[in-house]
Amino acid sequence: MTRTGGALGPTAPAGTWHDPGALRALRTLHRSGKLAAEYGAVRGLLARMPPADLPAAGQLLSRVDPRTVRRHAPDVAVVAVAVTGHSTVAPVVAPLTAELARHGLLLEARVAPYGAYLQDLMRPPAEGLPQVTLCLLDAHTVFDDVTVPWRVEDVESAARARLALLGGAVRAHQEAGRGLLVLNTVPLLRRFTHQLIDLRSRARLGAVWREFNCGLLALAERYPGVVTVDLDPLVGEGVPACEPRTAQYARARLSDALLAACARETAHVVRASLGRGRKVLVLDLDGTLWGGVLGEAGPDGVELGAGLRGEAFQEFQRVVAQLGSQGVLLAVSSKNDEALVREALRGHPAMLLREDSFVRVNANWKAKHDNLRDIADRLGLGLDGFVFADDSLFECGLVAERLPEVAVVRVDDEPALHPSALLADGWFDLFELTEADLARAARYRTEALREEFREDVGSYEEYLEGLGIEVTLRPPGEADLARVSQLTLRTNQFHLATERLEVPRVADWLERPGRHVIAVRARDRFGDHGLVGALFLRRDGGLLRIDNFVLSCRVFSRGIEGGCVAAVLDFARSTGADAVTGRYLPSPRNAAFASFYSDHGFTVLDRDPDAADGKHGKHAVHFRHDLATRVPAPAHLRLDAAFGPFDAPRNGQGEQS
C-alpha cells in the first residue's frame, strides 16, 4: 500500500480510531474517584470515543464537581453557562459537559428553575455574570398559551405574542451586556399538526410555525451577541424531536437525543466565542479527495468526476472548496510522489480543487505529523488551529497521538459520507465572516511571493527595506468592527493582554470618553494585508494606558509592532500625557511577547498601577514609558497615524526619525 508507505513503527496505533475502550477507561477513572485528578486525560479519551458513547461519558463527567477539577487542573478553561428555558432543561447539562470537554472546556452550569426564562433574561446583571446563557425553547413555548378548542389563528396570535415577549427579554439581556445568548428554533411536532383535520389549516399552521422560527433566527441577525441554533437540520438528520413520556411526565419537552445534538452545536458556538475556531484544513489525497491510489493509477486514473464514487469524491471537493472560499486555509499532506500530485492537481479534468486552492502542498514520504508541523511553521500558525482529514485509520491514529492539539476527522471508505464527517463538528465556525476571511488564502499565496523575494535579497534589513511597508493607524469605522472583534477573538500569539471582545464590546470601547480603539492596517509592494491589528487605549489622568494590543501573526517581525508603539508614544506626547503604560497578561500562547514592552523602551513596574480598581488580572505585568526619550519608528516603515478627530494626521513619522 503506497499510502501507508514509509517506516511504520511497531507502536503504531492502527485500529484505535473510535476506541470502545475509551468509555471503559473513563468509567474506571470515575469508579476509582480519580476523574477530577486525571481531568487532563479526559479530552483525549473523548476524542477517541464513538459518538454513541458520549451521552454516557457526559453523565459521568457532569457528576464531578467543577471546583474539584479546578483544584487539580488550575489551567483548565472554565465556561460558566446559565441554562434556562421554557420547560425542564436540566437534562442538557450532561451532554453539554461532554461536548465542551471535547474542546478542552470545563462547564460550570447553573440551571434555572422550570419555566423561568423570561425573568432570567430580563433580570438585572448580577455579580459573577455567566459568560453564556443557553435558553431552550420547545413547542409548548407557544402551545401553553393556546386552549382547546383551538384554530390556527389562535396559534398565530400566541406565537406572535410569545415572540414579542421573547424579543423584549432578549433585548434586555443584550443591552445589559450579559454576554452570549444561545437560543434554538423549535421543531413543529406531528402531534400538533395532526390535531387539525383539514389540510388547508394544517398547511397554514406549518407556515405560522415557520414565521415563529424566522422570528427567533432574526433575533440572531439583530444582536451580535445572540446565536440561534437551528434545530431543523438536526431533526432532518433523524434525531427525534420529542419523547412523549418524558415530555408528559417530567416536562422534558426536547428529547435526550435532540438535547445532545443541540449541546454539540452549542459547544461549537462557545468554542467560536473563545477564539478557538480552526483555521486550516489539511487533506489527504488518495481515498480522501479522490478514489484509488495515484501512484498506481497515474494522474488520469484516479476515481474522480466520472462513475458513482467518482462523483461522490467530486461532491466532497465541492464542500471543501466552499469552506476554502470563506477563508479556511486548505493544504495537502499526502504520501505520494510530488510530481505526480502536481500533475493531478493541474491536469485532472474533474479536479475542482486546483494547485492554487491550497496554500501548501506537502506530497512526500515523511510522517504526516512532521508534515503538519512543517505546514504550521510555514504558515506561522499554531497546530491548535488545524484540522486533519484522512481516510486511513493508521494516519488518523498516529496524528491524534503525536499531535493531540490537531483535530482529526476520519473519513472512511464511503466517499458519500465524507461531507458529513467533515462538517460534523463545525470546526471552522465563527461569528461573522469578514473581508479578511474572504481574502485570506490569496494573502497566504502572496506570502509565498514575499518568501521568494526574501530568498533573493542579502539581509533581513534589505528585505524589509525592499518590501515598502506602509502602516496606517486610524479609529475603526463601523464596517471595521467585526474584523477588530475577530482579531481579539482569534489571535493567540501577539495578543498582549488576551481579551476576547465581541462586536458590541468593541463598539462600547469606542464610545466611552477617554478611550480609543486604533485599527492597524498594513500593505507592501506585494499587496494589501488589510486590517491586521488593534490597540485598546485608555486615558487615566496623565497616563495613557495601552490596555491591550493585538496583531495578526501574518505580519510579525516586520517592525509593524514597533511602529505602532512609536505612534502611541507620539500621540501621548502631543496630547499632553506624562507617561504611557503597557500591560502584558500571560496566556498559553503569547509567551514569545512577554518582553515586548521592555524591548521597546518601557520599564517594568513593580506594582500594578490598576490595583486600586481590582479589575485587572493579578498575573498581569505592567510597564511604563515616561516619554523622556523619543522612540523612533523603524526606518523602513511608512507610518500614517491619526488617533481621533482632534488629532491631526501626522504622516511619515518613520521618515522623520
Partner 1 sequence: MTTVLADTTDFRTLLGEELGLHIGADDLDRPLADFPDWDSVLLLRMVTVVEAATGRRVAVADLLQARTFRQLYEAVAGR
What residues line the site for partner 1 (CB under 8 A)?
27, 30-31, 55-56, 59-60, 62-63, 88, 90-91, 93-94, 243, 245-246, 249-250, 252, 256
Nearest alpha carbon to residue 652 among 575, 566, 577: 566
Q: Closest approach of Cβ 83 to partner 1, in Å?
A: 11
Q: Closest approach of Cβ 259 to partner 1, in Å?
A: 10
With contact defined as beta carbons under 8 Å apart, do 35 and 64 qualify? yes
Nearer CB in complex with partner 1: 249/646: 249
Q: Closest approach of Cβ 227 to partner 1, in Å?
A: 25
Q: Closest approach of Cβ 617 to partner 1, in Å?
A: 35
Nearer CB in complex with partner 1: 195/248: 248
Cell of 18: 473510535
CB within 8 A of 232, min separation 6: which ones?
A: 185, 187, 213
Nearer CB in complex with partner 1: 114/463: 114
Cα(560)–Cα(549) distance, rounded to whole angstroms? 12
Nearer CB in complex with partner 1: 114/192: 114
Q: Closest approach of Cβ 248 to partner 1, in Å?
A: 8
Cell of 545: 494606558
Nearer CB in complex with partner 1: 251/402: 251
> Where do we find the cell 486533519?
388
Largest CA distance in the chain: 86
Cα(46)–Cα(43) distance, rounded to whole angstroms? 5
Identify the three-state secondary structure at position 365.
Answer: coil
Q: Closest approach of Cβ 502 to partner 1, in Å?
A: 31
Cα(309)–Cα(289) distance, rounded to whole angstroms? 11
How far CA 656 is from CA of 23, 570, 634, 653, in Å, comes to 65, 12, 10, 5
Q: Closest approach of Cβ 249 to partner 1, in Å?
A: 5
Nearest alpha carbon to residue 191 among 238, 245, 231, 154: 245
Nearer CB in complex with partner 1: 220/247: 247
Q: Closest approach of Cβ 97 to partner 1, in Å?
A: 11
Q: Closest approach of Cβ 35 to partner 1, in Å?
A: 9
Cα(503)–Cα(488) distance, rounded to whole angstroms? 10
How far CA 91 is from CA of 95, 136, 182, 377, 624, in Å, comes to 8, 11, 16, 43, 51
Sheet strands side by side (includes 280-283)? 360-364, 329-335, 280-283, 386-390, 407-410
Task: Using DSSP bridges, classify how beta strands 650-651 and 638-641 pair: parallel, antiparallel or unpaired.
Answer: antiparallel
How far CA 530 is from CA of 434, 438, 442, 484, 523, in Å, comes to 11, 11, 12, 11, 7
Q: Closest approach of Cβ 58 to partner 1, in Å?
A: 9
Nearer CB in complex with partner 1: 115/291: 115
Nearer CB in complex with partner 1: 64/381: 64
Q: Closest approach of Cβ 21 to partner 1, in Å?
A: 14
Q: What is the DSSP string of 480-540?
A: GHHHHHHHHHH--SSBTT-----HHHHHHHHHSTTEEEEEEEEEETTEEEEEEEEEEEEEE
Give 11: exposed, middle or buried? Use CB within 10 Å, 0-12, 13-18, 19+. Answer: exposed
Cα(208)–Cα(32) distance, rounded to whole angstroms? 53
Q: Closest approach of Cβ 245 to partner 1, in Å?
A: 4
Helix ranges restricted to H, 254-407: 256-273, 294-297, 308-325, 338-347, 368-379, 393-402
Nearest alpha carbon to residue 598 among 570, 573, 631: 631
Q: Closest approach of Cβ 251 to partner 1, in Å?
A: 10
**Number of CB atoms found within 10 A of residue 449's CB:** 12
